[in-house]
Structure 1
Amino acid sequence: MNEFEVAKQLEAQSQNGNGVGDQGKFWPEPFSMQQFLSRPKDSTLYRWENTLAARGTSMIVALPRDGKTYLALNLGLSVARGVPFLGRKTVQSPVLYVSLDNSCEDMDQFVEKLGVTSSDQIFIQPSPIPDNAEEWLVDVIKRNGIKLAIIDTLQRFFQLEEGDYCEAVNRMTPLDNLAKDIGFHVLYVHHAGKNGVYLGTTAYKAMCPTFMELMRVGELQQRVLKSDQRTGTNFDSVAVAMNKHGWLEVAGTYEDVQVREITVKIHELLEAHEGDGQTESYIRKEMPARGIIVSKAIKGMHKAGEIERTGGGKKGDPFKYHLAKTLSAEGPSYSFPFEGEKKTGLAGQESKNMTQVQVNSKKNSSPEFWDKNGTSTDEQNSARELRDEQNDGWEILE
């Protein structure tokens, strides 16, 4: 009996009440605490530091076209190369990407954008796959030493009835048990509904100790990633952006996202009152955000030379803010790239005013900019260079 059959037998016994007298098939003896504490332990706790356990399952959820496939593939390539991803280290390991939503031609665009090479330890399986998908997957994992398997998407892999909690648990548990027993991780990619909440049963989240959500927010459609984890460290709503090398990076906190949104609105307000300086208190009153967010936006715009101020900054003579003269004549030039025109992406999907935000080049996750110790060597990327990028590339993403 192989590992998959053992896991299936365990599930059958737990559901049917089989037990006494059936010890020849599967009859585990519980650990004593002494045995539990002294058992051999795997020194690798995480495949992706404080995020994906070395043994177990996780899920990334997003609306269609919000970038979940690209994020998952970028993560997979980071693991295959053993380079940091979104500021967290990875353990170099072979990776399997089961692409059920994308054709080989679609995947060509992704791998080209990421700079995947023939030497990378990534195996790609496009649709279709066998009907007995779980057994096939375990066989591929064992034969190729796979440590991270990415299933894109969960629904197409398991073909579950929507909203059936019991069926989802029964189908997903054997593979979860095998991941823990053999020592690999399964990352499921799954769709969210129109309200941003994952489709289907709550069993999906219950079965995945690490649950990640990627979403677009605000008028600038900035990507925000957050996670809900039983172990490790949550991503607390961080901005994610693509650098000029096609790799994803953390581009600030959720507060930074809000500041960038308000920066645009402040520009629009001052443009509408061109020639009339506005006080910070007036700007705050007109902005749909907390005062501290508005103040940070004003300070950032002033520091970047996007706005000018007059007045003494004291009672009876407050600072008044105006658009910088060069901006009034030439139009806005924000401290992050802003693209106001719609374009057609490589996959024929129309962008929605995409914005590539400024990223910290000192934490560049692109593999060619990390040495063998995991230290970034990409110190030449300036904010201006990133600002010159006209297309953030997200529109080609699923």
Structure 2
Amino acid sequence: MSEGSPNPFSEAAREYRAERDRRETPKLGRHSPVIRPRASEASPKHAIQSSDGMENDPVSDPFAPLEAHDIDRVCFPIPSESKRSARPLTLIQASQIKFDTKPNQLVKNWLSHGSFSVLYGESGAGKTHVALDIALHVAANATWMSNKVDSREGCVVYISAEGGRGVQDRVLALRKAKREIGHGAHRLFILPSSVRISSESDGLLEAIGSACDVDPVLIVVDTLARCFDGDENSTMDMNRFVAAADALRERTGAHVMLVHHSGKDGSKGARGSSALRAAIDTEIHVTNSKKGIQASVTKQRDFASEGQVSFELQPVFIGKHLDDDEVWSAVISPAQDAEHRDMLAPQSSLALDALERALRESGEARRVGGGQTRRLCARLDAWYDVCRTLKITKSCSENSLRVACSRAKKSLRDQSLIDFDATYVWLTEQ
């Protein structure tokens, strides 16, 4: 070895000492090494005395200098069996992916099989009407609003978490008003109580298994708030809920739809943490205005869609109570005249709005037109009073009001939007 050249053995010695010194003063942390002594080394050297002077189980002192024979016993924390993934994970080779000719859309342009959606809107917007209508059409495997349905002969589970008779009355109204899809009721199952998705999903699956003889293709949770554990604004709580909903989808193969409320500003989306919108595949916004109920797709992950449909509420008589009081509910029907209404003269449009309001406030169920069908009717005078309130005419005179109402009444009848007799007026079937 030439003079002045570095001594490789000295270099190695320095590195060894540096490594030894580093190991002799270990840093405590999440991955700090734990020295596990051999069974034969259970000696006082490897025992630690607690503050009360009692010796704990023999373990190595993490602060003691490491010896050469200790190096092969340096262990890092290993996840416990309970924390390991229980489900098998399978990788797919990209070159093996092939085009699937089988459609994967549950409701074409709206919902996909096995995916995750939110249908939201303000209170009273008609969210439940829309969700129930979709649910019955899927259960019946019937086209919904001109969009093909592929239910794969599965059933539908509707969690009516707000309870009460309201949803059940609406189901009766659907069966009565839409007899062509009434057979779907055999595959539509209602749970008239809340269920905590994050903690009670096992009980839900047991209930589904005992009631349904086929797998569900759609599970509707109405509403998220009634089935939520924690704070909707908390990202942690929302992520926990989303994980539970994902597990429900994976275990059933069903599409999970959440019915949810909008925030203070409906234009900014559903209420609560934005983690929900990030997780879902489809978002549907339901609004209610003078033009009726409207459902619009505001997010679609898997396929392009600008789905938008308009509805009108159709009152349906469902029976009488023992005290002879009539019970009415309502269903949605396509607003095929929504665009037509935009073309109505302002007076006629106001008169139609006035009639719908009069029907809500003081409608009476009557047989009209000499037939057996009962329709929700308003007295002509009640209709005129609402027309006056809505200022169908600028003049304040009673004669001007009567003339304006008479013209609007004739115009609406000519367009088959209303009908009337000497005392009552009603909307025609669309």
What TM-score do the two structures reach when normalised by structure 1?
0.57
CA distance in 1, matches of 2:251, 2:101: 11
Give the aligned partner of residue 133 of structure 1. Answer: 200
Residue 282 of structure 2 corresponds to residue 210 of structure 1: yes
CA distance in 1, matches of 2:254, 2:192: 20
Give the aligned partner of residue 190 of structure 1. Answer: 260
Q: Is the 8 A contact 2:216 2:253 kept in 1?
A: no
Identity %: 20
Give the aligned partner of residue 95 of structure 1. Answer: 156
Q: Deviations over 1:144-199 (max 9, x none)?
A: 22111111011211233121123212221243244246421111101123432421
User: Structure 1 pair 135/42, CA: closer, same or farther in 2 (3 Å)?
Assistant: farther
CA distance in 1, matches of 2:271, 2:428: 28
The partner residue of 2:168 within 104, 108, 112 is 108
Aligned residues: 272
Any idea what SS the aligned residue of 1:167 has? helix
User: Structure 1 pair 20/33, CA: closer, same or farther in 2 (3 Å)?
Assistant: farther
Q: How far does residue 211 in structure 1 lie from its aligned partner after superposition?
A: 0.3
User: Structure 1 pair 32/123, CA: closer, same or farther in 2 (3 Å)?
Assistant: same
User: Structure 1 pair 42/124, CA: closer, same or farther in 2 (3 Å)?
Assistant: farther
Superposed CA RMSD: 4.0
Give the aligned partner of residue 86 of structure 2. Answer: 25
CA distance in 2, matches of 1:333, 1:182: 50
The partner residue of 1:80 within 126, 133, 139 is 139
Give the aligned partner of residue 35 of structure 2. Answer: none
User: Structure 1 pair 216/38, CA: closer, same or farther in 2 (3 Å)?
Assistant: closer
Q: Is the 8 A contact 1:244 1:386 kept in 2?
A: no
Give the aligned partner of residue 286 of structure 1. Answer: none
The partner residue of 2:128 within 69, 73, 88 is 69
User: Structure 1 pair 345/155, CA: closer, same or farther in 2 (3 Å)?
Assistant: farther
Give the aligned partner of residue 343 of structure 1. Answer: 360
Q: Where in structure 2 are the equivalents of 1:219-298 lying within 5 Å?
A: 220=290, 222-227=292-297, 228-242=299-313, 247-251=331-335, 260=341, 263=344, 266-267=346-347
AA in 2 matched with 1:52: L
CA distance in 1, matches of 2:225, 2:354: 36
Q: Deviations over 1:100-154 (max 9, x none)?
A: 1131x21232012211658531111111446832222333445522111111011
User: Structure 1 pair 182/161, CA: closer, same or farther in 2 (3 Å)?
Assistant: same
Q: Is the 8 A contact 2:135 2:156 kept in 1?
A: yes
Where does the alignment leave 5 or more consecutive residues of structure 1 unmatched? 1-16, 268-305, 307-330, 347-352, 355-381, 394-398
AA in 2 matched with 1:112: L
Give the aligned partner of residue 302 of structure 1. Answer: none
Q: Is the 8 A contact 1:63 1:215 kept in 2?
A: yes
Give the aligned partner of residue 218 of structure 2. Answer: 148
Q: Deviations over 1:308-334 (max 9, x none)?
A: xxxxxxxxxxxxxxxxxxxxxxx9766
Any idea what SS the aligned residue of 1:239 has? strand
Give the aligned partner of residue 301 of structure 1. Answer: none
Q: How far does residue 23 in structure 1 lie from its aligned partner after superposition?
A: 6.3
Residue 194 of structure 2 corresponds to residue 123 of structure 1: no
CA distance in 2, matches of 1:128, 1:181: 20
Relative contact order (C-alpha < 8 Å, sep 6+): which is higher? 1
What TM-score do the two structures reach when normalised by structure 2?
0.53
Give the aligned partner of residue 284 of structure 1. Answer: none
User: Structure 1 pair 129/387, CA: closer, same or farther in 2 (3 Å)?
Assistant: same
AA in 2 matched with 1:123: F
User: Structure 1 pair 247/84, CA: closer, same or farther in 2 (3 Å)?
Assistant: farther
User: Structure 1 pair 130/165, CA: closer, same or farther in 2 (3 Å)?
Assistant: closer
Any idea what SS the aligned residue of 2:358 has? coil
Q: Deviations over 1:40-93 (max 9, x none)?
A: x69350211121111111111011111111111111000111111122111243
CA distance in 2, matches of 1:167, 1:214: 25
Q: How far does residue 205 in structure 1 lie from its aligned partner after superposition?
A: 1.5
User: Structure 1 pair 95/27, CA: closer, same or farther in 2 (3 Å)?
Assistant: closer
Greater Rg by CA: 2
